[in-house]
């Protein structure tokens, strides 16, 4: 832990939340002198306080330890860049608009890399009034199935959970552009684009 960097980060988080040093100190049961000492880089919070500090700031202990918050302004608020994390243990699905540190079932997850689906892998889209009916003949056994599909565009994400031994099918609003992504337990993540020239 670099105490100077961590101290600067604590000051940044504290001021963003509008806390005085005394208010932060009261939240975690230390003196305001202790907070001042950390922020000046003359000491670090005791390891037993890191979880409490992380909870107050709504961050992760690893961020406090590293003293850095990574930002990618070019991807800020752009849902097209959504990353999907899938826990192989429990099937949990986590979506994040930016890079994230995700832990599930005691393991750190990495974002799934999507590849463009081949023609024989693509989902079927059928226009039914004001909706798309999405379906597939993909295998849906307990060992090999699509666990979820999602529609993504610049400002929204819709996730459709799927289950083994059920046919893959769902309805979604009739969007004219965007991307469909889906995750297969054996083949990984795939995508197809929806546009004027339907990519299907």
Q: Indicate the class that CATH gives domain 75-194.
A: mainly beta
pLDDT at 199 over 70: no
End-to-end CA distance of the chain: 51
Give the model's confidence band at 140: pLDDT under 50 very low, under 70 low, under 90 confident, else very high: very high
Is the model more confident about 160 or about 6?
160
Give me the percent of the chain exceeding a pLDDT of 70: 92
32's CB contacts (< 8 A; 6+ apart) are 20, 21, 22, 24, 25
17 or 88, greater pLDDT: 88
Task: Give residues with Cβ within 8 angstroms of 114, minimum separation 6.
Answer: 84, 181, 188, 189, 190, 191
Domain with CATH 1.10.260.40 in the chain: 3-66
Whole-number Å distance between alpha carbons of 198 and 12: 47
**For 145-192, what is each residue's pLDDT tens digit?**
999 999 998 778 999 999 999 999 999 998 878 899 999 999 999 999
Return d(Cα 133, Cα 171) in angstroms, integer. 5
Question: What is the pLDDT at residue 154?
Answer: 76
pLDDT in tens, 24-38: 999 889 999 999 998
Where along the chain do the CATH 2.60.40.730 domains lie? 75-194
- Over 90: is that where the pLDDT of 94 sits? yes
CATH number of 3-66: 1.10.260.40
Rounded to whole angstroms, the Cα distance separating 110 from 185 reads: 15
pLDDT tens digits for range 70-79: 654 444 556 7
Give the pLDDT of residue 70: 60
Could you give the CA distance from residue 161 to residue 148 in angstroms, rounded to a whole number? 4
């Amino acid at each position: 832990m670099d105490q100077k960097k961590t101290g600067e980060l604590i000051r940044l988080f504290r001021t963003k939340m509008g806390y005085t040093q005394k208010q932060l100190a009261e939240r975690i049961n230390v003196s305001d002198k202790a907070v001042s000492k950390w922020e000046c880089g003359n000491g670090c919070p005791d390891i037993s306080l890191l979880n409490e500090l992380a909870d107050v700031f709504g961050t992760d202990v690893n961020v406090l330890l590293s003293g850095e918050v990574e930002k990618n302004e070019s991807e800020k608020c752009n849902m097209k860049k959504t990353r999907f994390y899938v826990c192989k243990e429990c099937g949990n699905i986590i979506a994040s608009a930016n890079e994230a540190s995700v832990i599930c079932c005691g393991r750190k997850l990495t974002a799934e890399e999507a590849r463009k689906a081949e023609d024989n892998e693509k989902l079927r889209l059928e226009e039914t009034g004001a909706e798309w009916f999405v379906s597939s003949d993909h295998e849906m056994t307990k060992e090999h199935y699509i666990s979820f599909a999602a529609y993504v565009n610049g400002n929204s994400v819709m996730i459709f959970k799927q289950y083994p031994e059920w046919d893959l099918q769902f309805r979604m609003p009739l969007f004219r552009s965007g991307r469909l992504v889906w995750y297969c337990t054996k083949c990984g993540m795939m995508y197809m684009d929806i546009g004027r020239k339907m990519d299907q």
